[in-house]
């Protein structure tokens, strides 16, 4: 397959040629730990041990790389495992990173509670404010500028191309967490990013049945460094997990179209509802990052956050009353989810500069019938 093929074609075929032995059109699950060698050091297809490489995982990695328009993808047991590998491959004690002031709580926890213990410093900055990012950079020390766009859970938007210029001017790499957009809506490497991070658990897997993560790069040297650490650290996905994620990728395009369409209906309802104080969605013309989102995204995604009149307890009641929107963490599956970030996904950021408002509710809008989702939100809002 080549990049001249369309996204949906790549999602179905990249890394997934029919099996040469049987003609099976779906890559087999190579549920194997080790491989017979043709003499000492004579590896068939380069495989020796499934921590180092597995054909099912290879198929997934080739597909993910194609969808992100990168040269190499590496997959992991979770999104945070991917992030941990990235930090340990790129940073040493004394290095520094700039992270978003509205980052995912797990990312913040990784920096604040794990990486910092090993001497990696970090400074939160508003990724949508280039001057703030520049001010947070420590010349000669900052190794990474980290970005989520749209961000979790405040749906902030950052200009990837502009951030790449800022990072590169300082001798740093730009890392973009593309989980919320998915490669169907946005390809950060084509905009100047150096590394793309995914929790493949979310939209890429798409069915709430598998945990995984990925890193995607363009530079061959960076790819080799990350691959060394992937093998040395060993937090790789099992073959069946890789297979499930690959199956999810086949329908990513059509699912994202429905996620986006349903989210727009939900945003319209919330924007007019008297119990909603503010709606956060990049597709709204009044969103501070709307113009940038129009420039770098195909559509605006299936994630919606809003603030409820009445404060934190009112927000919690909305979460408790929802029925079709399942109360739960995670996002990006075919089913709709609702959560209270301050007490759930972002509880680890409490008391920090990344603490989220108590009256905030986050929705992952699924692909159910939109009218049913609207009726459920009407009930939940009372």
Model pLDDT for residues 16-50, shown as the tens digit of each residue: 999 888 999 999 999 999 999 888 888 888 899 99
∠ CA 161-163-165, nearest 5°, is 75
Residue 293 resides in a domain:
yes
CATH classification at residue 44: 3.40.640.10
pLDDT of residue 116: 97
pLDDT of residue 349: 84
Decide if 7 contacts 253 (C-beta within 8 A): yes
Q: Show the tokens assigned to 14.
A: 């990249």
Residues 260 and 224 in one domain: no
Residues 116 and 242 in one domain: yes
Q: Show the tokens assigned to 331.
A: 């996002």
Catalytic residue (choose from 95, 102, 159, 177): 177
Residues 151 and 259 in one domain: no
The set of residues, in sequence order, having a beta carbon less than 8 Å from that of 22 and lying 6+ positions away, is: none
pLDDT of residue 1: 65
Active-site residue flag, 202: yes
SS3 306: strand
- The average confidence (pLDDT) of the chain is 96
Active-site residue flag, 122: no
Peptide bond into 150 cis (omega under 30): yes
Considering its fold, how many domains does the chain have in total? 2
DSSP one-letter code for 189: G
Q: Show the tokens assigned to 334.
A: 């075919």
Residue 81 resides in a domain:
yes
pLDDT of residue 41: 81
Residue 79 resides in a domain:
yes
pLDDT of residue 2: 65
In whole angstroms, how large is the CA radius of gyration of the chain?
21
Rounded CA separation 104/195 (Å): 17
Q: What is the pLDDT of residues 191-229, one digit of tens each?
A: 999 999 999 999 999 999 999 999 999 999 999 999 999
Decide if 49 contacts 35 (C-beta within 8 A): yes
Catalytic residue (choose from 72, 143, 202, 362): 202
pLDDT of residue 185: 98
Q: What is the largest CA-CA distance in the chain?
A: 73
Residues 327 and 349 in one domain: yes
- Out of 189, 218, 247, a domain closes at 247
Rounded CA separation 183/323 (Å): 30
Residue 338 resides in a domain:
yes
Q: Show the tokens assigned to 164.
A: 């790449």
Residues 153 and 74 in one domain: yes
CATH classification at residue 301: 3.90.1150.10
Catalytic residue (choose from 30, 35, 47, 104): 104
Active-site residue flag, 72: no
Rounded CA separation 128/292 (Å): 10
Sign for the CA dihedral angle at 317, 320, 321, 327 comes to: positive
pLDDT of residue 8: 96
Residues 315 and 173 in one domain: no
Residue 282 resides in a domain:
yes
Residue ranges in the chain modelled with pLDDT below 70: 1-3
Query: What is the helix, strand, coil percentage profile of the chain, to 5?
Result: 40, 15, 45
Residue with the two structure tokens 């099992």:
238
pLDDT of residue 343: 93
pLDDT of residue 21: 87
Residues 214 and 318 in one domain: no
Residues 289 and 231 in one domain: no
Rounded CA separation 26/260 (Å): 28
- Out of 232, 247, 262, a domain closes at 247
Residues 242 and 293 in one domain: no
Rounded CA separation 194/189 (Å): 6
Residues 197 and 285 in one domain: no
pLDDT of residue 346: 86
Q: Report in angstroms the alpha-carbon separations of 101 from 133, 154, 182, 269, 336.
A: 10, 10, 21, 28, 26
Rounded CA separation 163/289 (Å): 14
DSSP 80-99: HHHHHHHHHHH--TT-EEEE
Residues 96 and 45 in one domain: yes
214 pairs with which residues across the strands? 75, 198
Q: Which of 111, 89, 110, 91 is nearest to 172 (CA)?
A: 91
**pTM value?**
0.96
∠ CA 128-133-138, nearest 5°, is 165
Residue 1 resides in a domain:
no
- Out of 196, 219, 247, a domain closes at 247
Rounded CA separation 250/237 (Å): 18
Active-site residue flag, 177: yes
Residue 2 resides in a domain:
no
Residues 90 and 132 in one domain: yes
CA dihedral 204, 205, 207, 210 (to 10 degrees): -150
Q: Terminal CA-to-CA distance of the chain, rounded, Å?
A: 51
Q: Which ranges in 327-367 belong to alpha helices (H)?
A: none
Q: Show the tokens assigned to 246.
A: 């690959």
Give the domain extent around 365.
Answer: 252-381
Residue 366 resides in a domain:
yes
């Amino acid at each position: 397959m080549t990049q001249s093929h369309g996204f949906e074609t790549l999602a179905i075929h990249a890394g997934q040629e029919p099996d040469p032995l049987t003609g099976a059109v779906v890559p087999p699950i190579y549920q194997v730990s080790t491989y017979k060698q043709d003499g000492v050091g004579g590896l068939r297809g380069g495989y020796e041990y499934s921590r180092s490489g597995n054909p099912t995982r290879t198929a997934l990695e080739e597909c993910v790389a194609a969808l992100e328009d990168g040269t190499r993808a590496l997959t992991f047991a979770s999104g945070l495992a991917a992030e941990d590998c990235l930090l340990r491959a790129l940073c040493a004690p004394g290095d520094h990173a700039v992270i978003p002031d509205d980052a995912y709580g797990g990312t913040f926890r990784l920096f604040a509670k794990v990486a910092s213990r090993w001497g990696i410093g970090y400074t939160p900055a508003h990724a949508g404010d280039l001057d703030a990012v520049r001010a947070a950079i420590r010349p000669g020390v900052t190794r990474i500028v980290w970005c989520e766009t749209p961000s979790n859970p405040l749906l902030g938007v950052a200009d990837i191309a502009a951030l790449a210029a800022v990072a590169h001017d300082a001798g740093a790499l730009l890392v973009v967490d593309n989980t919320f957009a998915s490669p169907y809506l946005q390809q950060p490497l084509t905009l100047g990013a150096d590394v793309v991070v995914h929790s493949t658990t979310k939209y890429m897997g798409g069915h709430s049945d598998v945990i995984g993560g990925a890193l995607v790069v363009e530079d061959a040297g960076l790819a080799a460094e990350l691959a060394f650490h992937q093998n040395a650290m060993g937090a790789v996905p099992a073959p069946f997990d890789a297979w499930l994620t690959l199956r999810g990728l086949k329908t990513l395009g059509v699912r994202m179209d429905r996620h986006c369409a349903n989210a727009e209906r939900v945003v319209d309802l919330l924007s007019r509802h008297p119990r909603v104080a503010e709606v956060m969605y990049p597709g709204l013309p009044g969103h501070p990052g709307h113009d940038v989102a129009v420039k770098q995204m195909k559509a605006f995604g299936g994630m919606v956050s809003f603030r409820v009149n009445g404060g934190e307890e009112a927000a919690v009641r909305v979460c408790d009353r929802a029925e079709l929107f399942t109360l739960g963490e995670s996002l990006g599956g075919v089913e709709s989810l609702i959560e209270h970030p301050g007490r759930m996904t972002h509880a680890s950021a409490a008391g920090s500069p990344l603490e989220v408002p108590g009256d905030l509710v986050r929705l992952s809008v699924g692909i159910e019938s939109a009218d049913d989702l609207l009726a459920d939100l009407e009930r939940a809002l009372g």
